[in-house]
Structure 1
Amino acid sequence: MSVKRPTVCFPPRRNSRKPFASCFPLAVHAAIGVWNLILGIVAGSAWFLATAVYYLLLCASRRQVFRMLRDAQKMKNPRRRGAFQMRGCRQVGVWIALIGISYFGVCLCMYVYHKTVTYPFYLLYGVAAAAFFKIGMAVYGIRTAGKQNQPLLSALKWIGFVDACVSIVAVQCALLTWKGEGRAASDSSALLGMGCSVIFLGIGAAMFFRRGARGAAGSEKKE
Protein backbone atom coordinates (compact mmCIF):
# COMPACT_ATOMS: atom_id res chain seq x y z
CA MET A 1 0.00 0.00 0.00
CA SER A 2 1.51 3.29 -1.11
CA VAL A 3 1.78 6.08 1.43
CA LYS A 4 1.19 9.63 0.29
CA ARG A 5 3.94 12.06 1.04
CA PRO A 6 2.60 14.98 3.08
CA THR A 7 2.53 18.40 1.54
CA VAL A 8 5.58 20.39 2.61
CA CYS A 9 5.56 24.12 1.98
CA PHE A 10 8.60 26.28 1.98
CA PRO A 11 8.74 28.86 4.77
CA PRO A 12 8.05 32.41 3.65
CA ARG A 13 11.32 34.04 2.61
CA ARG A 14 12.64 37.19 4.15
CA ASN A 15 11.44 39.24 1.20
CA SER A 16 7.95 37.78 1.70
CA ARG A 17 7.56 40.15 4.64
CA LYS A 18 6.80 42.62 1.91
CA PRO A 19 3.03 41.94 2.25
CA PHE A 20 3.16 43.26 5.81
CA ALA A 21 4.32 46.60 4.43
CA SER A 22 1.24 46.76 2.18
CA CYS A 23 -1.10 47.71 5.00
CA PHE A 24 -1.97 50.96 3.22
CA PRO A 25 -4.58 49.37 0.86
CA LEU A 26 -5.98 47.47 3.85
CA ALA A 27 -6.48 50.75 5.75
CA VAL A 28 -7.97 52.41 2.65
CA HIS A 29 -10.47 49.57 2.14
CA ALA A 30 -11.42 49.70 5.83
CA ALA A 31 -12.01 53.46 5.62
CA ILE A 32 -14.08 53.12 2.42
CA GLY A 33 -16.09 50.30 4.00
CA VAL A 34 -16.88 52.27 7.17
CA TRP A 35 -17.74 55.40 5.15
CA ASN A 36 -20.14 53.47 2.90
CA LEU A 37 -21.66 51.80 5.95
CA ILE A 38 -22.38 55.19 7.52
CA LEU A 39 -23.84 56.52 4.24
CA GLY A 40 -25.94 53.39 3.84
CA ILE A 41 -27.40 53.66 7.35
CA VAL A 42 -28.02 57.42 7.11
CA ALA A 43 -29.45 57.37 3.57
CA GLY A 44 -31.10 53.95 3.85
CA SER A 45 -29.33 52.91 0.64
CA ALA A 46 -28.95 49.20 -0.13
CA TRP A 47 -26.19 50.01 -2.64
CA PHE A 48 -24.04 51.77 -0.05
CA LEU A 49 -24.62 48.96 2.46
CA ALA A 50 -23.70 46.27 -0.09
CA THR A 51 -20.58 48.23 -1.05
CA ALA A 52 -19.65 48.55 2.63
CA VAL A 53 -19.98 44.78 3.14
CA TYR A 54 -17.75 44.14 0.09
CA TYR A 55 -14.95 46.45 1.27
CA LEU A 56 -15.09 45.26 4.88
CA LEU A 57 -14.88 41.61 3.76
CA LEU A 58 -11.94 42.49 1.49
CA CYS A 59 -10.19 44.22 4.40
CA ALA A 60 -10.92 41.37 6.84
CA SER A 61 -9.67 38.70 4.42
CA ARG A 62 -6.36 40.50 3.87
CA ARG A 63 -5.90 41.01 7.60
CA GLN A 64 -6.54 37.30 8.17
CA VAL A 65 -3.89 36.31 5.61
CA PHE A 66 -1.35 38.70 7.15
CA ARG A 67 -1.95 37.11 10.55
CA MET A 68 -1.60 33.58 9.16
CA LEU A 69 1.60 34.51 7.31
CA ARG A 70 3.04 35.85 10.55
CA ASP A 71 2.10 32.62 12.37
CA ALA A 72 3.55 30.45 9.58
CA GLN A 73 6.91 32.20 9.84
CA LYS A 74 7.18 31.10 13.48
CA MET A 75 6.69 27.39 12.68
CA LYS A 76 9.86 25.32 12.36
CA ASN A 77 8.28 21.95 11.57
CA PRO A 78 7.84 21.79 7.75
CA ARG A 79 4.92 19.35 7.91
CA ARG A 80 2.97 21.38 10.42
CA ARG A 81 3.75 24.56 8.52
CA GLY A 82 2.55 22.95 5.30
CA ALA A 83 -0.69 21.74 6.90
CA PHE A 84 -1.23 25.18 8.45
CA GLN A 85 -0.72 26.98 5.15
CA MET A 86 -3.06 24.64 3.29
CA ARG A 87 -5.76 25.08 5.94
CA GLY A 88 -5.26 28.82 5.66
CA CYS A 89 -5.64 28.57 1.90
CA ARG A 90 -9.01 26.86 2.40
CA GLN A 91 -10.10 29.63 4.77
CA VAL A 92 -9.17 32.25 2.20
CA GLY A 93 -11.29 30.33 -0.31
CA VAL A 94 -14.29 30.89 1.97
CA TRP A 95 -13.42 34.60 2.24
CA ILE A 96 -13.18 34.96 -1.55
CA ALA A 97 -16.54 33.20 -1.98
CA LEU A 98 -18.11 35.62 0.52
CA ILE A 99 -16.52 38.55 -1.31
CA GLY A 100 -17.99 37.23 -4.56
CA ILE A 101 -21.47 37.01 -3.02
CA SER A 102 -21.20 40.52 -1.56
CA TYR A 103 -20.00 41.96 -4.88
CA PHE A 104 -22.90 40.24 -6.65
CA GLY A 105 -25.15 42.21 -4.27
CA VAL A 106 -23.35 45.44 -5.20
CA CYS A 107 -23.84 44.75 -8.92
CA LEU A 108 -27.47 43.76 -8.40
CA CYS A 109 -28.12 47.10 -6.68
CA MET A 110 -26.27 48.86 -9.51
CA TYR A 111 -28.52 47.14 -12.05
CA VAL A 112 -31.80 47.70 -10.19
CA TYR A 113 -31.18 51.29 -9.04
CA HIS A 114 -29.02 52.32 -12.05
CA LYS A 115 -26.10 53.41 -9.88
CA THR A 116 -22.88 54.50 -11.57
CA VAL A 117 -19.27 55.11 -10.53
CA THR A 118 -17.70 58.45 -11.42
CA TYR A 119 -14.17 59.83 -11.19
CA PRO A 120 -12.88 63.30 -12.05
CA PHE A 121 -11.57 63.42 -15.63
CA TYR A 122 -7.99 64.07 -14.54
CA LEU A 123 -8.07 60.94 -12.35
CA LEU A 124 -9.91 58.61 -14.71
CA TYR A 125 -6.99 57.39 -16.80
CA GLY A 126 -4.73 57.20 -13.77
CA VAL A 127 -7.26 54.96 -12.01
CA ALA A 128 -7.54 52.82 -15.17
CA ALA A 129 -3.76 52.43 -15.39
CA ALA A 130 -3.58 51.53 -11.70
CA ALA A 131 -6.33 48.89 -12.13
CA PHE A 132 -4.52 47.15 -15.00
CA PHE A 133 -1.23 47.38 -13.12
CA LYS A 134 -2.86 45.74 -10.09
CA ILE A 135 -4.21 42.85 -12.12
CA GLY A 136 -0.84 42.33 -13.81
CA MET A 137 0.97 42.28 -10.47
CA ALA A 138 -1.64 39.93 -9.00
CA VAL A 139 -1.23 37.40 -11.84
CA TYR A 140 2.57 37.63 -11.56
CA GLY A 141 2.38 37.18 -7.78
CA ILE A 142 0.09 34.13 -8.07
CA ARG A 143 2.50 32.49 -10.51
CA THR A 144 5.58 33.29 -8.39
CA ALA A 145 4.00 32.11 -5.13
CA GLY A 146 2.90 28.89 -6.85
CA LYS A 147 6.45 28.16 -8.00
CA GLN A 148 7.74 28.78 -4.48
CA ASN A 149 5.05 26.44 -3.06
CA GLN A 150 3.65 29.11 -0.73
CA PRO A 151 -0.15 28.69 -0.57
CA LEU A 152 -0.77 31.62 1.76
CA LEU A 153 1.12 34.09 -0.41
CA SER A 154 -0.74 32.71 -3.42
CA ALA A 155 -4.04 33.20 -1.58
CA LEU A 156 -3.09 36.80 -0.79
CA LYS A 157 -2.41 37.42 -4.47
CA TRP A 158 -5.79 35.91 -5.38
CA ILE A 159 -7.43 38.48 -3.10
CA GLY A 160 -5.47 41.15 -4.97
CA PHE A 161 -6.69 39.68 -8.27
CA VAL A 162 -10.31 39.97 -7.09
CA ASP A 163 -9.73 43.58 -6.03
CA ALA A 164 -8.13 44.38 -9.40
CA CYS A 165 -11.05 42.89 -11.36
CA VAL A 166 -13.51 44.99 -9.36
CA SER A 167 -11.40 48.09 -10.08
CA ILE A 168 -11.56 47.36 -13.82
CA VAL A 169 -15.37 47.07 -13.66
CA ALA A 170 -15.50 50.41 -11.82
CA VAL A 171 -13.25 52.02 -14.45
CA GLN A 172 -15.45 50.71 -17.28
CA CYS A 173 -18.52 52.16 -15.56
CA ALA A 174 -16.79 55.51 -15.03
CA LEU A 175 -15.66 55.70 -18.67
CA LEU A 176 -19.15 54.98 -20.00
CA THR A 177 -20.67 57.48 -17.56
CA TRP A 178 -18.16 60.14 -18.66
CA LYS A 179 -19.21 59.55 -22.28
CA GLY A 180 -22.85 60.16 -21.39
CA GLU A 181 -23.97 56.52 -21.39
CA GLY A 182 -25.59 56.65 -17.95
CA ARG A 183 -28.13 53.80 -18.23
CA ALA A 184 -25.86 51.66 -20.42
CA ALA A 185 -22.98 52.27 -18.02
CA SER A 186 -24.90 50.93 -15.02
CA ASP A 187 -26.46 47.98 -16.85
CA SER A 188 -23.38 46.74 -18.72
CA SER A 189 -21.06 47.25 -15.75
CA ALA A 190 -23.51 45.49 -13.43
CA LEU A 191 -23.73 42.48 -15.76
CA LEU A 192 -19.94 42.38 -16.13
CA GLY A 193 -19.58 42.60 -12.35
CA MET A 194 -22.07 39.76 -11.85
CA GLY A 195 -20.00 37.63 -14.23
CA CYS A 196 -16.89 38.47 -12.22
CA SER A 197 -18.75 37.52 -9.03
CA VAL A 198 -19.43 34.05 -10.43
CA ILE A 199 -15.72 33.73 -11.26
CA PHE A 200 -14.83 34.78 -7.69
CA LEU A 201 -17.17 32.10 -6.35
CA GLY A 202 -15.44 29.56 -8.58
CA ILE A 203 -12.01 30.65 -7.34
CA GLY A 204 -13.15 30.41 -3.72
CA ALA A 205 -14.66 26.94 -4.26
CA ALA A 206 -11.51 25.71 -6.01
CA MET A 207 -9.36 26.90 -3.11
CA PHE A 208 -11.68 25.38 -0.51
CA PHE A 209 -11.92 21.96 -2.16
CA ARG A 210 -8.23 21.78 -2.96
CA ARG A 211 -7.05 18.20 -2.45
CA GLY A 212 -3.77 19.19 -0.85
CA ALA A 213 -5.62 20.96 1.93
CA ARG A 214 -7.22 17.77 3.18
CA GLY A 215 -4.12 15.71 2.62
CA ALA A 216 -1.98 18.12 4.58
CA ALA A 217 -4.49 18.30 7.42
CA GLY A 218 -4.60 14.52 7.56
CA SER A 219 -0.82 14.23 7.69
CA GLU A 220 -0.74 16.57 10.67
CA LYS A 221 -3.21 14.38 12.61
CA LYS A 222 -1.13 11.28 12.00
CA GLU A 223 2.00 12.84 13.51
Structure 2
Amino acid sequence: MPQLALKYRLLLYGSMFVFVILSMINVFYACFNDLAAIGCYGLTALTFAAGIVCLVSDVGRHIKKTVKSVAAVNPYVSRMACDDRLRTVVLSVPEVVENVLFAVLNGVTGIVSHSAWLGTLSAYYILLSIMRISAISQAWKISQMTQDPVRKQKEFRVYSQDSVLFLLLALVLAGMVILLEFSAGGKTYPGLTIYAAAAYAFYRITLSMINMIKVKKLRSPLLMIIRKIGYADACVSILILQTALFSSFAQPAEAEFVKLMNGMTGSGVCVMIFAMGVQGLCAGRQMKERNG
Protein backbone atom coordinates (compact mmCIF):
# COMPACT_ATOMS: atom_id res chain seq x y z
CA MET A 1 0.00 0.00 0.00
CA PRO A 2 1.22 3.60 -0.60
CA GLN A 3 3.10 5.16 2.29
CA LEU A 4 1.58 8.25 3.89
CA ALA A 5 3.75 11.30 4.41
CA LEU A 6 5.25 11.57 7.89
CA LYS A 7 2.98 14.46 8.93
CA TYR A 8 -0.14 12.51 7.97
CA ARG A 9 1.07 9.39 9.79
CA LEU A 10 1.72 11.44 12.92
CA LEU A 11 -1.74 13.02 12.59
CA LEU A 12 -3.34 9.58 12.25
CA TYR A 13 -1.49 8.15 15.25
CA GLY A 14 -2.32 11.24 17.31
CA SER A 15 -6.01 11.05 16.40
CA MET A 16 -6.06 7.36 17.25
CA PHE A 17 -4.52 8.04 20.67
CA VAL A 18 -6.96 10.90 21.43
CA PHE A 19 -10.10 8.95 20.48
CA VAL A 20 -8.95 5.86 22.40
CA ILE A 21 -8.44 8.01 25.50
CA LEU A 22 -11.84 9.68 25.08
CA SER A 23 -13.53 6.29 24.68
CA MET A 24 -11.84 4.97 27.82
CA ILE A 25 -12.91 8.08 29.76
CA ASN A 26 -16.50 7.58 28.65
CA VAL A 27 -16.39 3.87 29.56
CA PHE A 28 -15.28 4.63 33.10
CA TYR A 29 -17.18 7.89 33.76
CA ALA A 30 -20.09 7.92 31.21
CA CYS A 31 -19.58 11.65 30.58
CA PHE A 32 -20.97 11.70 26.98
CA ASN A 33 -24.58 11.47 25.87
CA ASP A 34 -25.62 8.53 23.70
CA LEU A 35 -25.09 10.30 20.35
CA ALA A 36 -21.66 11.64 21.33
CA ALA A 37 -20.66 8.22 22.70
CA ILE A 38 -21.63 6.47 19.45
CA GLY A 39 -19.69 9.05 17.42
CA CYS A 40 -16.67 8.72 19.70
CA TYR A 41 -16.67 4.91 19.53
CA GLY A 42 -17.11 5.00 15.76
CA LEU A 43 -14.19 7.39 15.27
CA THR A 44 -12.11 5.31 17.66
CA ALA A 45 -12.77 2.17 15.61
CA LEU A 46 -11.96 3.96 12.31
CA THR A 47 -8.77 5.65 13.48
CA PHE A 48 -7.60 2.56 15.37
CA ALA A 49 -8.11 0.30 12.35
CA ALA A 50 -6.43 2.80 9.99
CA GLY A 51 -3.60 3.32 12.48
CA ILE A 52 -2.95 -0.42 12.80
CA VAL A 53 -2.92 -0.80 9.00
CA CYS A 54 -0.46 2.09 8.69
CA LEU A 55 1.69 0.74 11.54
CA VAL A 56 1.79 -2.75 10.02
CA SER A 57 2.77 -1.21 6.68
CA ASP A 58 5.55 0.86 8.26
CA VAL A 59 6.90 -2.09 10.25
CA GLY A 60 6.67 -4.32 7.18
CA ARG A 61 8.80 -1.93 5.13
CA HIS A 62 11.50 -1.87 7.81
CA ILE A 63 11.42 -5.67 8.09
CA LYS A 64 11.77 -6.02 4.31
CA LYS A 65 14.82 -3.75 4.31
CA THR A 66 16.40 -5.76 7.12
CA VAL A 67 15.61 -9.08 5.46
CA LYS A 68 17.08 -7.93 2.14
CA SER A 69 20.33 -6.87 3.81
CA VAL A 70 20.59 -10.21 5.68
CA ALA A 71 19.54 -12.22 2.60
CA ALA A 72 22.43 -10.74 0.67
CA VAL A 73 24.89 -12.71 2.85
CA ASN A 74 22.76 -15.64 4.10
CA PRO A 75 21.49 -18.20 1.52
CA TYR A 76 18.80 -19.60 3.84
CA VAL A 77 17.30 -16.19 4.53
CA SER A 78 17.56 -15.43 0.81
CA ARG A 79 15.52 -18.53 -0.02
CA MET A 80 12.89 -17.59 2.59
CA ALA A 81 12.65 -14.09 1.13
CA CYS A 82 12.25 -15.32 -2.46
CA ASP A 83 10.16 -18.49 -2.00
CA ASP A 84 6.56 -17.50 -1.16
CA ARG A 85 5.51 -21.12 -0.66
CA LEU A 86 8.31 -21.90 1.80
CA ARG A 87 7.79 -18.64 3.69
CA THR A 88 4.04 -19.19 4.04
CA VAL A 89 4.48 -22.74 5.33
CA VAL A 90 7.32 -21.92 7.74
CA LEU A 91 5.48 -18.94 9.24
CA SER A 92 2.41 -21.14 9.77
CA VAL A 93 4.28 -23.47 12.15
CA PRO A 94 4.24 -21.04 15.16
CA GLU A 95 0.49 -20.60 14.60
CA VAL A 96 0.02 -24.37 14.91
CA VAL A 97 1.93 -24.35 18.21
CA GLU A 98 -0.20 -21.44 19.42
CA ASN A 99 -3.45 -23.23 18.48
CA VAL A 100 -2.38 -26.44 20.24
CA LEU A 101 -1.43 -24.54 23.41
CA PHE A 102 -4.74 -22.65 23.40
CA ALA A 103 -6.63 -25.92 22.87
CA VAL A 104 -4.94 -27.53 25.88
CA LEU A 105 -5.24 -24.43 28.09
CA ASN A 106 -8.92 -23.84 27.35
CA GLY A 107 -9.69 -27.55 27.63
CA VAL A 108 -8.04 -27.91 31.05
CA THR A 109 -9.55 -24.65 32.31
CA GLY A 110 -12.98 -25.67 30.99
CA ILE A 111 -12.82 -29.02 32.80
CA VAL A 112 -11.65 -27.46 36.07
CA SER A 113 -14.23 -24.64 35.97
CA HIS A 114 -17.00 -26.79 34.41
CA SER A 115 -17.32 -24.24 31.58
CA ALA A 116 -19.05 -25.53 28.47
CA TRP A 117 -18.01 -22.36 26.61
CA LEU A 118 -14.30 -22.96 27.26
CA GLY A 119 -14.78 -26.58 26.24
CA THR A 120 -16.29 -25.48 22.94
CA LEU A 121 -13.46 -22.97 22.49
CA SER A 122 -10.98 -25.81 23.05
CA ALA A 123 -12.78 -27.85 20.37
CA TYR A 124 -12.47 -24.88 18.00
CA TYR A 125 -8.70 -24.68 18.54
CA ILE A 126 -8.34 -28.46 18.13
CA LEU A 127 -10.12 -28.32 14.78
CA LEU A 128 -8.07 -25.31 13.72
CA SER A 129 -4.87 -27.17 14.66
CA ILE A 130 -5.95 -30.18 12.59
CA MET A 131 -6.61 -27.95 9.57
CA ARG A 132 -3.24 -26.24 9.82
CA ILE A 133 -1.27 -29.43 10.50
CA SER A 134 -2.97 -31.12 7.54
CA ALA A 135 -2.15 -28.23 5.20
CA ILE A 136 1.47 -27.95 6.37
CA SER A 137 2.15 -31.70 6.20
CA GLN A 138 0.66 -31.89 2.71
CA ALA A 139 2.72 -28.88 1.67
CA TRP A 140 5.87 -30.77 2.68
CA LYS A 141 4.80 -33.86 0.71
CA ILE A 142 3.89 -31.79 -2.33
CA SER A 143 7.28 -30.04 -2.25
CA GLN A 144 8.92 -33.45 -2.79
CA MET A 145 6.92 -34.11 -5.98
CA THR A 146 8.56 -33.36 -9.31
CA GLN A 147 5.61 -33.69 -11.72
CA ASP A 148 3.63 -30.45 -11.84
CA PRO A 149 0.22 -31.99 -12.81
CA VAL A 150 0.44 -34.41 -9.87
CA ARG A 151 1.32 -31.57 -7.51
CA LYS A 152 -1.62 -29.51 -8.73
CA GLN A 153 -4.07 -32.38 -8.25
CA LYS A 154 -2.78 -32.90 -4.72
CA GLU A 155 -3.20 -29.21 -3.94
CA PHE A 156 -6.78 -29.28 -5.24
CA ARG A 157 -7.53 -32.26 -2.97
CA VAL A 158 -6.11 -30.50 0.11
CA TYR A 159 -8.05 -27.33 -0.77
CA SER A 160 -11.33 -29.28 -0.99
CA GLN A 161 -10.68 -31.29 2.20
CA ASP A 162 -9.95 -28.22 4.30
CA SER A 163 -12.98 -26.45 2.79
CA VAL A 164 -15.13 -29.25 4.24
CA LEU A 165 -13.49 -28.63 7.62
CA PHE A 166 -14.50 -24.96 7.34
CA LEU A 167 -18.12 -26.13 7.40
CA LEU A 168 -17.45 -28.13 10.57
CA LEU A 169 -15.60 -25.16 12.06
CA ALA A 170 -18.67 -22.99 11.45
CA LEU A 171 -20.82 -25.50 13.37
CA VAL A 172 -18.42 -25.45 16.34
CA LEU A 173 -18.48 -21.65 16.33
CA ALA A 174 -22.28 -21.70 16.19
CA GLY A 175 -22.20 -23.72 19.40
CA MET A 176 -19.95 -21.09 20.98
CA VAL A 177 -22.36 -18.32 19.97
CA ILE A 178 -25.36 -20.21 21.35
CA LEU A 179 -23.57 -20.64 24.68
CA LEU A 180 -22.74 -16.92 24.70
CA GLU A 181 -26.42 -16.11 24.24
CA PHE A 182 -27.98 -18.53 26.72
CA SER A 183 -25.30 -19.13 29.35
CA ALA A 184 -22.19 -17.57 30.79
CA GLY A 185 -19.23 -17.36 28.47
CA GLY A 186 -16.53 -15.11 27.15
CA LYS A 187 -12.85 -14.41 27.64
CA THR A 188 -11.37 -12.28 30.42
CA TYR A 189 -7.97 -10.62 30.59
CA PRO A 190 -6.37 -9.38 33.83
CA GLY A 191 -5.72 -5.67 34.23
CA LEU A 192 -4.30 -3.74 31.31
CA THR A 193 -3.46 -6.87 29.30
CA ILE A 194 -6.81 -6.48 27.54
CA TYR A 195 -5.41 -3.48 25.64
CA ALA A 196 -2.44 -5.53 24.46
CA ALA A 197 -4.87 -8.28 23.42
CA ALA A 198 -6.94 -5.72 21.49
CA ALA A 199 -3.90 -4.39 19.64
CA TYR A 200 -2.79 -7.94 18.80
CA ALA A 201 -6.26 -8.90 17.53
CA PHE A 202 -6.43 -5.87 15.23
CA TYR A 203 -2.88 -6.58 14.04
CA ARG A 204 -3.84 -10.17 13.19
CA ILE A 205 -6.97 -9.25 11.26
CA THR A 206 -5.07 -6.57 9.33
CA LEU A 207 -2.17 -8.88 8.49
CA SER A 208 -4.51 -11.73 7.49
CA MET A 209 -6.38 -9.42 5.07
CA ILE A 210 -3.10 -8.30 3.50
CA ASN A 211 -1.97 -11.92 3.16
CA MET A 212 -5.28 -12.93 1.57
CA ILE A 213 -4.84 -10.25 -1.09
CA LYS A 214 -1.21 -11.23 -1.77
CA VAL A 215 -1.85 -14.98 -2.01
CA LYS A 216 -4.46 -14.57 -4.77
CA LYS A 217 -1.69 -13.43 -7.10
CA LEU A 218 0.25 -16.68 -6.55
CA ARG A 219 -2.64 -18.89 -7.79
CA SER A 220 -1.72 -21.72 -5.43
CA PRO A 221 -4.69 -23.58 -3.87
CA LEU A 222 -2.50 -24.83 -1.02
CA LEU A 223 -1.19 -21.40 -0.04
CA MET A 224 -4.69 -19.98 -0.46
CA ILE A 225 -6.22 -22.44 2.02
CA ILE A 226 -3.46 -21.72 4.56
CA ARG A 227 -4.18 -18.00 4.33
CA LYS A 228 -7.94 -18.60 4.54
CA ILE A 229 -7.41 -20.53 7.78
CA GLY A 230 -5.41 -17.59 9.15
CA TYR A 231 -8.12 -15.13 8.13
CA ALA A 232 -10.86 -17.22 9.78
CA ASP A 233 -8.79 -17.47 12.96
CA ALA A 234 -8.23 -13.70 13.01
CA CYS A 235 -11.98 -13.05 12.64
CA VAL A 236 -12.76 -15.36 15.55
CA SER A 237 -10.11 -13.56 17.64
CA ILE A 238 -12.10 -10.34 17.12
CA LEU A 239 -15.23 -12.09 18.46
CA ILE A 240 -13.30 -13.40 21.48
CA LEU A 241 -11.87 -9.91 22.07
CA GLN A 242 -15.37 -8.45 21.98
CA THR A 243 -16.53 -10.86 24.69
CA ALA A 244 -13.51 -9.87 26.79
CA LEU A 245 -14.21 -6.15 26.38
CA PHE A 246 -17.84 -6.61 27.42
CA SER A 247 -16.76 -8.77 30.35
CA SER A 248 -14.36 -6.06 31.54
CA PHE A 249 -16.36 -2.88 30.89
CA ALA A 250 -20.08 -3.61 30.43
CA GLN A 251 -22.48 -2.77 33.25
CA PRO A 252 -25.06 -5.30 34.56
CA ALA A 253 -27.86 -3.12 33.13
CA GLU A 254 -26.38 -3.61 29.64
CA ALA A 255 -26.75 -7.41 29.67
CA GLU A 256 -29.33 -7.47 26.86
CA PHE A 257 -27.21 -5.18 24.68
CA VAL A 258 -24.17 -7.41 25.29
CA LYS A 259 -26.14 -10.49 24.23
CA LEU A 260 -27.37 -8.71 21.11
CA MET A 261 -23.89 -7.59 20.06
CA ASN A 262 -22.29 -10.98 20.77
CA GLY A 263 -25.07 -12.69 18.84
CA MET A 264 -24.72 -10.37 15.84
CA THR A 265 -20.92 -10.56 15.68
CA GLY A 266 -20.86 -14.30 16.35
CA SER A 267 -23.51 -15.02 13.73
CA GLY A 268 -21.66 -12.88 11.20
CA VAL A 269 -18.41 -14.78 11.80
CA CYS A 270 -20.19 -18.16 11.55
CA VAL A 271 -21.91 -17.23 8.30
CA MET A 272 -18.67 -15.90 6.83
CA ILE A 273 -16.69 -19.07 7.68
CA PHE A 274 -19.51 -21.30 6.41
CA ALA A 275 -19.55 -19.28 3.17
CA MET A 276 -15.76 -19.69 2.88
CA GLY A 277 -16.25 -23.45 3.13
CA VAL A 278 -18.97 -23.52 0.48
CA GLN A 279 -16.98 -21.23 -1.81
CA GLY A 280 -13.90 -23.41 -1.31
CA LEU A 281 -15.78 -26.58 -2.29
CA CYS A 282 -17.18 -24.93 -5.43
CA ALA A 283 -13.84 -23.38 -6.38
CA GLY A 284 -12.02 -26.67 -5.75
CA ARG A 285 -14.40 -28.53 -8.06
CA GLN A 286 -13.96 -25.90 -10.76
CA MET A 287 -10.16 -26.01 -10.48
CA LYS A 288 -10.18 -29.80 -10.82
CA GLU A 289 -12.38 -29.62 -13.92
CA ARG A 290 -10.21 -26.97 -15.56
CA ASN A 291 -7.03 -28.91 -14.93
CA GLY A 292 -8.62 -32.23 -15.80
Which TM-score band applies after superposition, normalised by the shorter structure? 0.7 to 0.9
CA distance in 2, matches of 1:115, 1:63: 28
Residue 17 (str. 1) matches residue 86 (str. 2): yes
C-alpha contact 1:165 1:196 (8 A) present in aligned 2: yes
Inter-partner Cα distance in structure 2 for 1:40 and 1:128: 23
In structure 2, C-alpha distance between the alignment counterparts of 1:101 and 1:57, rounded to whole Å: 11
Per-residue CA shift, 1:131-181, capped at 9, x if unaligned? 122122212222222111111111111111111111111222222222234
Q: Which residue pairs with 2:170 in the alignment?
A: 100
Deviation at 1:187, TM superposition (A): 4.3
Residues 39-54 of structure 1 mapped to structure 2, 5 A cutoff: 39-54=109-124
Farther-moved stretch of structure 1 (167-176 vs 199-208): 167-176
2:249 to 179, 184, 187: 179
The one-letter code of the counterpart of 2:209 is: V
Between structure 1 and structure 2, the one with the greater Rg is 2
What percent identity do the matched residue pairs reach? 24
Partner amino acid for 1:201? Answer: F
Amino acid at match of 1:128: A
Q: Mapping of 1:48-63 within 5 angstroms?
A: 48-63=118-133
Query: Deviation per CA, 1:67-91, whole angstroms, max 9, x where unpaired?
Result: 1111121122111111111111111
Residue aligning to 1:8: none
Q: Unaligned stretches of 5+ in structure 2?
A: 1-81
Q: Contact 2:159–2:225 (CA<8 Å) still a contact in 1?
A: yes
Matched residue count: 206
CA contact (8 A) 2:118 2:185 kept: no
Distance 2:186 2:114 in 1: 17
Q: CA deviation at 1:36?
A: 2.5
RMSD of aligned Cα (Å):
2.0
Q: What TM-score, normalized to structure 2? A: 0.65
Aligned residue in 1 for 2:281: 208
For residues 230 and 84 of structure 2, what CA distance do their matches in structure 1 show? 18
What is the aligned partner in structure 2 of residue 35 from structure 1? 105
Dislocated runs of 4+, deviation >6 Å: none
Q: Which moved more, 1:58-67 or 1:129-138?
A: 129-138
Equivalent position amino acid for 1:180 in 2: A
Partners of 2:216 and 2:222 in 1: CA distance: 10
Q: In terms of mean alpha carbon deviation, does 38-47 or 156-165 score higher?
A: 38-47
1:50–1:102 Cα contact (<8 Å) kept: yes
Whether the 8 Å contact between 1:145 and 1:151 is mirrored in structure 2 is no
Q: Which amino acid aligns with 2:199?
A: A
- The amino acid that maps onto 2:262 is S
Contact 1:114 / 1:186 at 8 angstroms: preserved in 2? Answer: no
Q: What is the CA–CA distance in structure 2 between the aligned matches of 1:118 and 1:187, rounded to whole Å?
A: 19
Q: Which has the higher contact order (CA 8 A, sep 6+)?
A: 1
Moved more, 175-184 or 137-146: 175-184
Partners of 1:170 and 1:31 lie apart in 2 by: 16
Q: Give the TM-score normalised by the residue count of structure 1.
A: 0.83
Bigger mean CA offset, 72-81 vs 184-193: 184-193
Deviations 1:22-56 (A, max 9, x none): 42221121122123223444444321221111010
State which drifts further: 66-75 or 177-186.
Answer: 177-186
